[in-house]
A and B are shown apart, each in its own frame.
Chain A
């Protein structure tokens, strides 16, 4: 295995983030703080507790998920799209690197960034609410798996995109609505019965539910269902990436 090659991509990507620290770190953290102020403090103070959890604390897992999912997709998609855009993918393809190694480098960096942001948001949330995490190890594991799977998704988006508009379409028009409607700010049983069934078609529901279970021991769906869904989602992303590299789709001529 070309470990130095993986390390090179990883460090290069991490350095790119450090060069744009405000965009990479400050911006998502600031957005989340605003969510806490608006939904947690202003509106949340007038909301009833949900399953004995204050509304301010209840939205923390959803807000972390919202941010890390978007960050994972954005970081990974931009990470691979930018070399495509400026033409430097020739370096990756002509180097003694396997496709797996290239993916590990880019997805690893995107995962690290979004995972770190997730932890920073969690730390920030303690400024606003009190949270006792019921399953902390599982919470970290689930957060990591979410970051990996959405970074894989972002990598796919970056590969198949031909321009910056396409790069933004999937996150803006598909992922953002799914995340907002996935129970970040509410539980599924707060919806009318028809919409409850409809919401179960949204894969993000299972991820937010699983993550919330790690925090409070409660979720919209059983935890095993959430684990199954996150593993299924990760497997699908890996399969698509395997196909892309196997066929050279949008990478090799």
Chain B
């Protein structure tokens, strides 16, 4: 996949001397979905704003499709669509007119067929002549997406696309995002919902205090960072961990009736076989075993804390 966005040593300092982005570098490939995770104030929205032209750059450079976002802003912006976090819409305008307006701003000719298909895809067609003010929050969110896609962009920025929307609509949004990916659109989304990133992203970027802590393929990241928990329920309770088993760092729970064993699935050996063998040797019988997988959320919390 070819590189479509390149951010080099980006610094964004606000007038009040707050540094929102600190020497951040990032590369995004065409056609991928990257989820930028980070707590509030981490710098996610500022990063998006500098790429899209909403915020000035203090130092560093950003190129989109090989063009500089400042010098060649027309060439970069014409292939970018942006859905900001806040629902910002002209309340007294009809849905169809609002979408057409967005398309025209990008210098594109009216294309009734494209716009109508877009509205159908986003389940907005029946509402096309409705005044935006009369729509529900979820519908307004869809209008925001329709406006961002009105000029058929190659890159779509979604800043907290499912913030404050119900579960059903969130899943609809995920399906829309997946469809766009299938059409070759590069998608950059910021989110608080780890589940969202886990469900739809190809790559994960974690930002905190204006710094990019990591960017990695989601599955690799989960595999690398994943720590599974083996819960062993015993036939007879233990008051302490026997000496032979101390090397496994076991944690007694349920008043000694069970213990937890933590292991990394990314390593060659999990140590489970030897643990069970050692237990057998010293006469500890197990009653039941079960495993729990570490979620992306656990990984995110661990990286942020580290």
- By a beta-carbon cutoff of 8 Å, the part of chain A in contact with chain B is 2-5, 7-9, 12, 15, 19, 83, 86-88, 90-98, 248, 252-253
Pick the contact of B86: A19, A87, A252 (CB < 8 A). Answer: A87
List, in ascending order, chain A residues with CB within 8 A of B49's CB: 253
B105 touches A5 (CB 8 A): yes
List, in ascending order, chain B residues with CB within 8 A of A93's CB: 52-54
List, in ascending order, chain A residues with CB within 8 A of B14's CB: 253
CB of B49 to closest CB in A, whole Å: 7
B92 touches A86 (CB 8 A): no
The 5 closest A-B pairs by CB, nearest first: A87-B88, A8-B104, A96-B74, A95-B105, A96-B77
Can you list 29 A-B pairs, Cβ within 8 angstroms, ordered by A? Answer: A2-B107, A4-B105, A4-B108, A4-B109, A5-B104, A5-B106, A5-B107, A8-B101, A8-B104, A8-B105, A9-B105, A12-B101, A86-B89, A86-B90, A86-B91, A87-B88, A90-B88, A91-B147, A93-B53, A93-B54, A94-B52, A94-B77, A97-B105, A98-B74, A248-B56, A252-B55, A253-B46, A253-B49, A253-B56
Name, among B52, B54, B86, the residue most crowded by chain A CB atoms within 10 Å (CB to CB). Answer: B54
Pick the contact of B107: A4, A86, A90, A253 (CB < 8 A). Answer: A4
CB of B152 to closest CB in A, whole Å: 14
CB of B147 to closest CB in A, whole Å: 7
Cα-based distance from A94 to B56 in the complex (angstroms): 12
Known contacts A8-B101, A86-B88, A90-B84; is-contact A95 B54 (Cβ 8 Å): no
| Chain B residue at minimum C-beta to C-beta distance from A105 | B105
| Beta-carbon contacts under 8 Å, B88-124 to A | 88-92, 97, 101-102, 104-109
Name, among B54, B107, B108, the residue most crowded by chain A CB atoms within 10 Å (CB to CB). Answer: B107
| Chain A residue at minimum C-beta to C-beta distance from B82 | A94
Cα-based distance from A92 to B82 in the complex (angstroms): 11
CB of B122 to closest CB in A, whole Å: 17
| B35 interface residue per 8 A CB criterion | no
| B78 interface residue per 8 A CB criterion | yes
| B80 interface residue per 8 A CB criterion | yes
List, in ascending order, chain A residues with CB within 8 A of B91's CB: 86
Q: A4-B108, A95-B102 given; name 7 further pairs at CB < 8 Å.
A: A9-B105, A12-B101, A19-B92, A83-B90, A92-B105, A93-B52, A96-B107
Cα-based distance from A87 to B140 in the complex (angstroms): 14
List, in ascending order, chain A residues with CB within 8 A of B46's CB: 253
| Chain B residue at minimum C-beta to C-beta distance from A88 | B88
CB of B156 to closest CB in A, whole Å: 12
B108 touches A96 (CB 8 A): no
CB of A87 to closest CB in B, whole Å: 3
List, in ascending order, chain B residues with CB within 8 A of A5's CB: 104-107
| Beta-carbon contacts under 8 Å, B54-89 to A | 54-56, 73-75, 77-78, 80, 82, 84, 86, 88-89
A7 touches B104 (CB 8 A): yes
Cα-based distance from A5 to B104 in the complex (angstroms): 5
List, in ascending order, chain A residues with CB within 8 A of B147's CB: 91
List, in ascending order, chain B residues with CB within 8 A of A87's CB: 84, 86, 88
CB of B106 to closest CB in A, whole Å: 6
CB of B52 to closest CB in A, whole Å: 4
The 0/1 profile, CB within 8 Å of A marked 1, for residues 224-239 of chain B is 0000000000000000
List, in ascending order, chain B residues with CB within 8 A of A86's CB: 88-91
Cα-based distance from A253 to B49 in the complex (angstroms): 9
| Chain B residue at minimum C-beta to C-beta distance from A248 | B56
Name, among B55, B88, B89, the residue most crowded by chain A CB atoms within 10 Å (CB to CB). Answer: B88
Cα-based distance from A50 to B288 in the complex (angstroms): 108
| Chain B residue at minimum C-beta to C-beta distance from A87 | B88
CB of B20 to closest CB in A, whole Å: 9
A96 touches B88 (CB 8 A): no
| Chain A residue at minimum C-beta to C-beta distance from B106 | A95
List, in ascending order, chain B residues with CB within 8 A of A88's CB: 88-90
Name, among B46, B78, B106, B147, the residue most crowded by chain A CB atoms within 10 Å (CB to CB). Answer: B106
Name, among B90, B91, B97, the residue most crowded by chain A CB atoms within 10 Å (CB to CB). Answer: B90
Known contacts A2-B74, A252-B55, A253-B49; is-contact A90 B82 (Cβ 8 Å): yes
Cα-based distance from A9 to B104 in the complex (angstroms): 9
CB of B146 to closest CB in A, whole Å: 13
B77 touches A95 (CB 8 A): yes
List, in ascending order, chain B residues with CB within 8 A of A12's CB: 101
| Chain B residue at minimum C-beta to C-beta distance from A102 | B105
Cα-based distance from A94 to B55 in the complex (angstroms): 10
CB of B13 to closest CB in A, whole Å: 11
| Chain A residue at minimum C-beta to C-beta distance from B76 | A96
List, in ascending order, chain A residues with CB within 8 A of B108's CB: 4
CB of B293 to closest CB in A, whole Å: 39
| Chain B residue at minimum C-beta to C-beta distance from A3 | B107
Known contacts A4-B109, A94-B82; is-contact A252 B54 (Cβ 8 Å): yes
List, in ascending order, chain A residues with CB within 8 A of B80's CB: 94
A252 touches B77 (CB 8 A): no
Cα-based distance from A88 to B86 in the complex (angstroms): 10
Cα-based distance from A94 to B49 in the complex (angstroms): 9
